[in-house]
């Protein structure tokens, strides 16, 4: 099997033995839990789209390892065309789910791991790359969803990992033997964790010699013994428990984050891909971050497309679509969204081949892309809220609309442009705007745009490194004829 059907994906999760805590309770059936289910549906859509002939070129590709047709989420980029199609695929998935579809992290992790382990082996004589390729072949053959795990809790941000009062603030090796290693610690903000088959763990920062025990990377099943999850809270998340569809805004799809805890987890050597090689931890972090910052030029744009469409419909339903300031705001939203997409395409088009043969994006442009993503979705969301109007956050509940006594009153006073929409249609679109800007989807759109793939300052540091100011100074000196002799 190289391509799972969406039904096979769902069934594969049912066979797993996750340990998940949500709202203070252990979840017995995560697949069907009303809070978790929409996020699973989002991942499921990546499998469904890969089955559709009209999206075959974007969603699938021939594996350069086996020659088999595989889902692009498990592919190593072999050209700049692959990098561009990745961004286009992510925009499509964002359009189809209006949420985080969660497979990008694993895709970005395997691409970073490929080139890093190759170059590490070449310099140090290690054998990590062969292990990685073996895992990747399994990932491709079984069409697995892999969660890339990088962000540690970090504790006191002013202290290095080895200086922390509690050593578990960063994932680290606590024991080594001839069979493998034992891991303890946690990974925070884990997107799609409980919808994944395996986990690929990476260091969160460039490590020093003193932090060698923290320079560790490995893969393990997502339901491995000793691994458990504490599901993250989202705004308006308990609306999903009420049984309706209007108040949720996007009742079909969603995203999630979780704290992933490693409680003395044993990892066999065959699944270890870095263990103490601290000098290569920075390369892995930088390349993963670059790929993931590229991703935001696709996924956030796709969700932005839905939000712009929802704002435009809200204007129609409010009877305000012809107002010049509404038209101008929609133009501005489109301009900002397409600028983000342009950055994603640009850093992809300017990518280059690494020593392993995998293509890496232009790191400077990828960081510029993500820096824009920390700003533009906030303005797009602000304009959407402006267009939608205050009813978006003061509207009565779905249960009130269905109440036999007051339902008719709400139908009367909540109506908009009755020539083109019912009161229910208007309520649904306003709740969708709310969901995308303030509700559960805002985690995967607005707030994730700020903090996902690193904080804004992380991108500015990389822009400073990659900006090559000295070369720019030379250009200026040449034109000004300074130091010319």
Residue 25 phi, psi (nearest 5): -130, 150
For residue 208, how many C-alpha atoms fall within 13 Å in the half-sphere facing its CB?
6
User: Is residue 105 helix, strand or coil?
Assistant: helix
Length of the chain: 485
Q: What is the pLDDT of residue 485?
A: 56
User: Are 203 and 255 members of one domain?
Assistant: yes
Question: In the annotation, is 291 catalytic?
Answer: no
- Residue 455: partners with Cβ closer than 8 Å, 6 or more residues away: none
In this structure, are residues 111 and 77 in contact, taking their beta carbons and an 8 Å threshold? yes
| pTM for this entry | 0.97
Residue 477 in any domain: the answer is no
Residue 50 in any domain: the answer is yes
Last residue of a domain, one of 279, 307, 322: 279
- Selected catalytic residue, list 93, 299, 369, 421: 299
Last residue of a domain, one of 249, 264, 279: 279
Question: In the annotation, is 448 catalytic?
Answer: yes
Question: In the annotation, is 270 catalytic?
Answer: no
Tens-level pLDDT at each residue, the chain (485 residues): 689 999 999 999 999 999 999 999 999 999 999 999 999 999 999 999 999 999 999 999 999 999 999 999 999 999 999 999 999 999 999 999 999 999 999 999 999 999 999 999 999 999 999 999 999 999 999 999 999 999 999 999 999 999 999 999 999 999 999 999 999 999 999 999 999 999 999 999 999 999 999 999 999 999 999 999 999 999 999 999 999 999 999 999 999 999 999 999 999 999 999 999 999 999 999 999 999 999 999 999 999 999 999 999 999 999 999 999 999 999 999 999 999 999 999 999 999 999 999 999 999 999 999 999 999 999 999 999 999 999 999 999 999 999 999 999 999 999 999 999 999 999 999 999 999 999 988 888 988 999 999 989 999 999 999 999 999 999 999 999 998 65
Among candidates 372, 449, 347, 453, which has minimal Cα distance to 83? 347
Residue 271 in any domain: the answer is yes
Question: In the annotation, is 104 catalytic?
Answer: yes
Q: What is the total count of domains within the chain? A: 2
Residue 95 in any domain: the answer is no
User: Are 224 and 304 members of one domain?
Assistant: no
In this structure, are residues 107 and 196 in contact, taking their beta carbons and an 8 Å threshold? no
Residue 481 in any domain: the answer is no
Residue 245 in any domain: the answer is yes
User: Are 381 and 246 members of one domain?
Assistant: no
Q: Rounded CA gap, 147 and 101, in Å?
A: 12
Q: Rounded CA gap, 43 and 52, in Å?
A: 15
Question: In the annotation, is 434 catalytic?
Answer: no
Question: In the annotation, is 100 catalytic?
Answer: yes
Question: In the annotation, is 25 catalytic?
Answer: no
Residue 341 in any domain: the answer is yes
Residue reference for tokens 């009153």: 409
Residue 89 in any domain: the answer is no
User: Is residue 290 helix, strand or coil?
Assistant: helix
- Selected catalytic residue, list 296, 341, 359, 445: 296
Question: In the annotation, is 343 catalytic?
Answer: no
Q: What is the CATH number of the domain that holds 237?
A: 2.40.110.10
| Cβ density class 67-95: b for 16+ within 10 Å, e for less | eeebbbbbbbbbebebbbbbbbbbbbbbb
Q: What is the CATH number of the domain that holds 340?
A: 1.20.140.10
In this structure, are residues 326 and 389 in contact, taking their beta carbons and an 8 Å threshold? no
Domain that holds residue 335: 283-468
- Selected catalytic residue, list 46, 60, 77, 104: 104
Q: Rounded CA gap, 478 and 484, in Å?
A: 8
User: Are 218 and 357 members of one domain?
Assistant: no
- Selected catalytic residue, list 100, 347, 369, 421: 100
Q: How many CB atoms lie within 10 A of CB 56?
A: 13
């Amino acid at each position: 099997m190289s391509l799972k059907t969406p039904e096979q994906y769902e069934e594969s999760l049912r066979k797993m033995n996750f340990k998940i805590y949500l709202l203070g309770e252990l979840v017995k059936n995560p697949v069907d839990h009303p809070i978790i289910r929409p996020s699973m549906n989002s991942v499921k859509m990546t499998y469904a789209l890969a089955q559709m002939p009209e999206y075959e070129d974007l969603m699938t590709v021939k594996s350069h390892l086996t020659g088999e047709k595989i889902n692009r989420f498990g592919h190593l980029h072999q050209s700049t065309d692959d990098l561009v199609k990745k961004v286009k695929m992510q925009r499509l998935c964002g359009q189809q789910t209006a949420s985080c579809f969660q497979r990008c992290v694993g895709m970005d992790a395997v691409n970073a791991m490929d080139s890093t382990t190759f170059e590490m082996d070449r310099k140090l004589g290690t054998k990590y790359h062969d292990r990685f390729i073996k895992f990747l072949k399994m990932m491709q053959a079984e069409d697995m969803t892999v969660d890339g795990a990088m962000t540690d809790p970090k504790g006191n941000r002013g202290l290095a990992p080895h200086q922390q009062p509690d050593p578990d603030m960063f994932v680290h090796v606590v024991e080594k033997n001839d069979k493998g290693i034992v891991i303890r610690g946690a990974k925070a903000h884990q997107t799609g964790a409980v919808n994944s088959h395996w986990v690929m763990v990476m260091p969160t920062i460039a490590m020093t010699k003193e932090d060698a025990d923290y320079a560790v990377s490995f893969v393990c099943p997502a339901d491995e013994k000793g691994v458990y999850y504490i599901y993250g809270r989202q705004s308006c998340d308990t609306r999903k428990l009420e049984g309706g569809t209007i108040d949720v805004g996007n009742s079909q799809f969603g995203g999630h984050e979780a704290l992933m805890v490693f409680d003395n987890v044993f990892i066999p050597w065959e699944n270890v891909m870095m263990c103490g090689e601290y000098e290569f931890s920075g390369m892995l972090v930088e390349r993963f971050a670059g790929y993931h910052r590229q991703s935001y030029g696709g996924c956030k744009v796709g969700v932005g497309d839905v939000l712009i469409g929802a704002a435009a419909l809200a204007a129609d339903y409010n009877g305000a679509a012809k107002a010049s300031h509404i038209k101008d705001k929609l133009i501005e939203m489109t301009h900002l969204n397409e600028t983000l997409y342009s950055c994603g395409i640009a850093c992809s088009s300017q990518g280059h081949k690494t020593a392993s043969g995998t293509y890496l994006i232009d790191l400077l442009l990828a960081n510029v892309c993500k820096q824009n993503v920390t700003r533009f979705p906030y303005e797009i969301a602000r304009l959407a809220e402006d267009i939608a109007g205050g009813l978006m956050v003061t509207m009565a509940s779905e249960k009130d609309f269905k109440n036999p006594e007051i339902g008719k009153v709400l139908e009367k006073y909540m109506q908009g442009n009755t020539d083109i929409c019912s009161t229910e249609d208007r309520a649904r679109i306003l709740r969708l705007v709310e969901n995308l800007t303030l509700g559960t989807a805002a985690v995967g759109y607005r707030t994730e745009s700020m903090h996902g793939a690193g904080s804004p300052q992380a991108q500015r540091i990389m822009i400073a490194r990659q900006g090559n100011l000295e070369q720019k100074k030379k250009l200026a000196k040449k034109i000004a004829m300074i130091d010319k002799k």
